Structure 1
């Protein structure tokens, strides 16, 4: 059988990347969506940004792991459960085998050597900053994956993450202690002897490590990005990340057990290299799961061409008017405001494209955002006073500043005269047309009362 490779590639691309709005059977839609997800995730890994950020997080972890655990150690020591840190470290480093035990002993020794009286106030402040900086780096990587340009303020980061670092370990070990206490009750033992309760409890215990990892990943994907993450996509990312992590732990344990060449070549440095490899794999899996959560919540980013969407001038002008009419329609009818994510889902476009159309309107003072989370878009001026010509001029001039603008551009007189006539013709055609007029012309909508 002769395969026509170019023809097969074209047919495959047509099947996978066909526009979502085009009609097709539901089964085909689901298969095409799954293939798009797999292709885009593989492309993100091959592109290098996820791997690069994972390597950066490894470096930050090496600097902050001892201060981070020292804070948890001090909190747990106050409640008499500080001896639980060692078992958790051993569990995390279990894939390293005997080398994991040695690394745990070294880290615990570093933690015990930290003395607040010796460090002083400046040292303690640096200790807290180093601990918070790790979570800050994780947030920056998550914001990159979620295409979020605005990070949290330093004060919000410090209070939010420091509270998590102080209260989080206490809650975790409290839950472990309560579970152990309940499991030790005689009545619980009697109930577990009953079938099929005992069988269910046994297999639930086998699944518990997976569920805990999935729950931890889901919490990170919900808590860290500076945007609203729905529980469904976060759970999808946590499920994929948790399963991949458990599988990677199993594979890395066998790799570490057979990596005798590392010890022969690098001697005592072999422990550090294996430790860094395991950290890198953990961070890469965490970021990969975050990508799964992002694409699950925002399927409009599953596109054939990698990179950010670059709108044409015509598309930017058209999109600005469409979005402004959508926002104005909800505003004049007393409905909840549109969010950027909601507009992106409605128009099947990436959020970055929507932001590209909205930012000039916000800078011009035509639109503003509400104070909620997530923020909604609201008109800042009366829609009767906002003309369609002003909207188009604002979008066309978006990106110009004192360093780059038309006044600084040397142009021939014929070109200047042609563009002036073009602007005059547009002004004549759009004269008297306001955004409110466009809102009133929408189907199934009553005209806005001029009064």
Structure 2
């Protein structure tokens, strides 16, 4: 059976995002989930998150000893040091050499940090390593959320310092809860049914819930953008489940790497540990993309860009959007946001946003930010009785970015027949004058509320 690549490409770029009037609710849900997964995969590769994961892995390895030292120092203060060490060794039970190596480095770091000039140097190195890792993670998440700006320096210092201390304290609290759960389960061991449920919950369910909460916090607070908590729950659950599966593979899959261990010996622990960190960041960034798509799926409901739309159709859509804005303004009604304009005109929101940007460039529309919220609405720039279809087309077609003949060194006046050039110009003027007799707000018959 021959595979039709063009049909598959059409389905993924257009067919998957077409509106279906008579589909069932279950089918709609399935299609939406397929859209999210497709877009997450697409953006994961387009935004080069593989390179970001490699950078994050390097930063993690550079910062892991200072971070672990800080966590163990706080844990020892709370009396949870030995328990935390036990948990750490269990997590890396497949690579005991890596666990021992990291613990020795951590203990050495703590011992030297208390003596001599290393106090100051060690503190600086630790702060730099932690801040650098957080900065790299934020940059990767900002790439996911398409954030252009950066945090102010004051917020960087406050937010990063808070993260640096809250994360270890959270780990200590979770360790304390784990001790409590272990003692609680031991008391239920003599009960067959309850003991089995409690043991299963402690072994699988509790770690999954804890990891899910950690991913939710990471996805909500790390990007320099407003992220809705409800949009991160599903991806966080997937990320935590994938991490637990990865850990199981990492622990129990060593049987397939016996020849690798035989060749490299104890040195095999390091590359395998680095690979584990790299795959962990792949999982984290992919599910971060899912969170982004969860919150912004409507923006990508149409995979066609404005460059793929012919000039005539684009002008028709521009006139429709401008007519909608002017009509609401003339009636004294509340101005609409881009999503509300999209709902009223049935123009995909990606195209609507681009049209609004073009109309603002030619000073036909202005955006207004609400003082009580971040909602952006759009209104005409001047009296709607003077805005016509011809005026809109004239402005859009004569915008600076639309006229690049001078940059190309091309001059039609120099090479065209002089009479024909003048005739074409006069026909265009007559065409625009005819369109200027049509008021833009009278273009559409009604506006959906």
C-alpha RMSD over aligned residues: 4.8
Secondary structure of 2:227 counterpart: coil
Q: Name the structure 2 match of 1:146.
A: 145
Distance 1:201 1:244, change over 3 A: same
With structure 1 as the length reference, what TM-score do the two structures score? 0.73
With structure 2 as the length reference, what TM-score do the two structures score? 0.73
Q: Name the structure 2 match of 1:262.
A: 260
Q: CA deviation at 1:166?
A: 1.1
Structure 2 residue 376 is matched with structure 1 residue 377: yes
Q: Name the structure 2 match of 1:245.
A: 243
Q: Report matched runs for 1:141-290 at 5 Å.
A: 141-177=140-176, 180=179, 201-206=198-203, 207-290=205-288
* Native 8 Å contact 1:16 1:33 kept in 2: no
Secondary structure of 1:152 counterpart: coil
Q: Name the structure 1 match of 2:52.
A: 53
Question: Cα deviation per residue 1:35-83 (whole Å; 9 max; x = unaligned)?
Answer: 4445445555666823222112111212222333344455556656555
Q: Name the structure 1 match of 2:89.
A: 90
Q: Report matched runs for 1:425-440 at 5 Å.
A: 425-426=431-432, 429-430=435-436, 433=439, 437=441
Secondary structure of 2:117 counterpart: helix
* Native 8 Å contact 1:228 1:374 kept in 2: no
* Native 8 Å contact 2:44 2:289 kept in 1: no
Distance 1:141 1:254, change over 3 A: same
* Native 8 Å contact 1:256 1:274 kept in 2: no
Counterpart Cα distance in 1 of 2:354 and 2:406: 23
Secondary structure of 1:212 counterpart: helix
Counterpart Cα distance in 2 of 1:124 and 1:171: 21
Picking from 436, 443, 448, the partner of 2:447 is 443
Distance 1:158 1:17, change over 3 A: farther
* Native 8 Å contact 1:343 1:354 kept in 2: yes
Distance 1:160 1:328, change over 3 A: farther
Counterpart Cα distance in 1 of 2:277 and 2:405: 51
Q: Report matched runs for 1:340-351 at 5 Å.
A: 349=348
State the aligned residue count. 433
Q: Name the structure 2 match of 1:135.
A: 134
Q: Name the structure 2 match of 1:66.
A: 65
Counterpart Cα distance in 2 of 1:189 and 1:247: 26
Q: Name the structure 1 match of 2:19.
A: 21
Secondary structure of 2:201 counterpart: helix
Secondary structure of 1:298 counterpart: helix
* Native 8 Å contact 1:317 1:396 kept in 2: no
Distance 1:184 1:262, change over 3 A: closer
Question: Cα deviation per residue 1:23-45 (whole Å; 9 max; x = unaligned)?
Answer: 23224434444444454455556
Distance 1:341 1:238, change over 3 A: farther
Distance 1:65 1:430, change over 3 A: farther
* Native 8 Å contact 2:59 2:133 kept in 1: yes
Q: CA deviation at 1:356?
A: 3.8
Query: Which ranges of structure 1 fall in alignment gaps of 5 or more residues?
Result: 446-451
Structure 2 residue 418 is matched with structure 1 residue 412: no
Counterpart Cα distance in 1 of 2:193 and 2:23: 43
Question: Cα deviation per residue 1:398-418 (whole Å; 9 max; x = unaligned)?
Answer: 7849xx956545322159865
Distance 1:329 1:380, change over 3 A: closer
Counterpart Cα distance in 2 of 1:397 and 1:127: 57
Q: CA deviation at 1:219?
A: 2.2
* Native 8 Å contact 1:71 1:165 kept in 2: no
Counterpart Cα distance in 1 of 2:74 and 2:343: 44
* Native 8 Å contact 2:66 2:130 kept in 1: yes
Question: Cα deviation per residue 1:121-162 (whole Å; 9 max; x = unaligned)?
Answer: 687455424312222222222232333334434443332232
Q: CA deviation at 1:279?
A: 0.5
Counterpart Cα distance in 2 of 1:271 and 1:18: 44
Secondary structure of 1:148 counterpart: coil
- Higher alpha-carbon deviation: 220-229 or 5-14: 5-14
Query: Which ranges of structure 2 fall in alignment gaps of 5 or more residues?
Result: none
Counterpart Cα distance in 1 of 2:372 and 2:171: 28
* Native 8 Å contact 2:57 2:281 kept in 1: yes
